Structure formats: structure tokens, C-alpha cells
Amino acid sequence: MGFNPISLFLEHISTLAPSRQPAKIRSRNSESIHTPRVTRRLVRVDSKSSDAFTSCWLTNAMQVFDAISTDLACREFDGKPLSNEHIQRILEAGRRCQSGKNLQPWHFIVIRDKAILNRLAGLMKGDMDEPLVRGAPLAIALVSDPSSEFHLIDTGRVAQNMTLAAWELGIGSCFMSGPEPPEREPYRKRAHDFLRIPANLNFVDLMIFGYPKRSRVAKHKKRRDLDRMVSQDTFGKPLSLFQDA
């Protein structure tokens, strides 16, 4: 299956001082705003659509916030094909996503055929994403239905669901947007036609998935502090959480 991010994460936090208290939000000068924790537990996953997940038990399950905190974009894979069970679980995570008015304005194209992956990569015409698509064991083309006013944001939520579900399984992922503008839209049109997507639907982007070539998790992500990106009630008004911390 490749490396297990849960085991690696448990190894990382074993060096941290144990604490049962929630981590406090810290000020701008603090190095971090979260002390990661993992809870050992059993999780049952039920799915009416698939016997494969009717009785799926996971031990040492990764908490959602831990997955968010440790996941990194993965661009190098070990070449091993993803199991059917793992692919189906990723797809289920997308299918179960929230959507505006429950319209579910999405469709997923699972691509494992190397010839098709290479053709899609070739459409990128030398962009940095081209070799990444060629080297991926799996890509999922995200397709949206513009008849829903929420189609793009809902498809973005689907992508994040898939990313986190994959990471819990030890599978890395990355968004492939293709060439930089102004070449991006022509590329998307070529990919749309090559994948035989109906004219009334929108090709959003590719996501690539695979077992990471190198075992690593994010111990500290370079992100702006919350007090530099969050306001209270109106734009620019400091959030009282930081004053109380």
C-alpha cells in the first residue's frame, strides 16, 4: 500500500509533550496555532452502494484536522497501482460531498490507462504538469454541470474530500491545472474533447493520485497566521479570539 501517514504521524507526535487540553490560538508572533493530536479509535464505514465498504474497520484512524494539518501536495509516486478498494473509497468521499441544493453537479472520470494519461499529458505541451501526469498511476478528471450556479465551488469541495480520504489511506494527490494562461483554456478545451465530455458539461481539472515515493508529512506548514486573514463582523476588525488568547 505504500507508507502509512498515520504511523508516521504517530511517530512524530510521540516526541511532543502529551496534553489533554485543547491547543490555544496564539498570536502572530507564535510559531504555530495548533498542537496536533491523534486519537486511537475504531471507525466503521457503511456504504449501501458497495459491499467492499459495508464492513470496513480502520484502526488508529486519522482525525480530519490531523489529515488537513499533515497533508502535502504529492508530485512523486512509487509507481505502484492503486487498489480498487482505495480508488472506490476516494470516489465515495467525493460522492458523499455536500452540494448547493443537493444538486450534486459533478461527474468523475477515472483514468488508469497509461496511453490516455500520456495523451492528456501531451496536451499540456511542455508545461511542468506534463511529466507529473505521465508519472501518475491514477488520475481523476473532475467534470461539473454549469446548470448549477454552485458547480465550481461544489467540485472544489469534492476535490478536498478526495484529497483527505486518499491521505488517510497513505495516498498522495495533486491538482493538475495544465499550462499557465493564456494557454490554459485551450488546453481544457482539448482535454474536454479528448475525454468525450458532453458539450453541456465543464472539464474542471485533473487530480493525480498515487502512493508517495518518499515518506513525509507536514510538521509545520508555511501559512499566514489567522489574525492576518480573519476579521470579526466586518472586514478589518480584529477577531476577539486573539485578544482573549
Transcribe 191-222 into DSSP letters: HHHHTT--TTSEEEEEEEEE-BSS----SS--
Q: Let me know whether 197 and 226 are in one domain.
A: no
Other Cβ atoms less than 10 A from the Cβ of 72: the count is 15
- Does 158 have pLDDT greater than 50? yes
Whether residue 1 lies inside any domain: the answer is no
Mean pLDDT of 111-122: 97
Helix (H, G, I), strand (E, B) or coil at 239: coil
More confident residue, 51 or 203: 203
Shortest CA distance to 160 belongs to which of 223, 97, 75, 209? 97
- Does 71 have pLDDT greater than 80? yes
Percent of the chain with pLDDT over 90: 61
The range of the structural domain enclosing residue 42 comes to: 7-72+216-245
Shortest CA distance to 220 belongs to which of 46, 16, 35, 23? 35
- Does 219 have pLDDT greater than 80? no
pTM of the model: 0.74
Q: Let me know whether 66 and 101 are in one domain.
A: no
In 3-state terms, the chain is what percent helix, strand and coil (to 5)? Answer: 35, 15, 50
Q: Let me know whether 149 and 243 are in one domain.
A: no
pLDDT at 61: 61
Give the N- to C-terminal CA distance of the chain in Å, as an integer. 42
Helix (H, G, I), strand (E, B) or coil at 238: coil
Whether residue 55 lies inside any domain: the answer is yes
- By CB neighbour count within 10 A (0-12 exposed, 13-18 middle, 19+ buried), where does 216 fall? middle
- Does 42 have pLDDT greater than 80? no
CATH code: domain of residue 149:
3.40.109.10
Number of domains in the chain: 2
Q: Where does the chain have alpha helices with state H?
A: 5-13, 64-70, 84-95, 114-122, 129-134, 151-168, 184-194, 240-244
Chain center to CA of 195: 22
- Does 51 have pLDDT greater than 50? no
Helix (H, G, I), strand (E, B) or coil at 155: helix
Residue 135 gets which letter from DSSP? Answer: T
Instruction: Give the whole-angstrom CA distance, residue 9 versus residue 17.
Output: 14
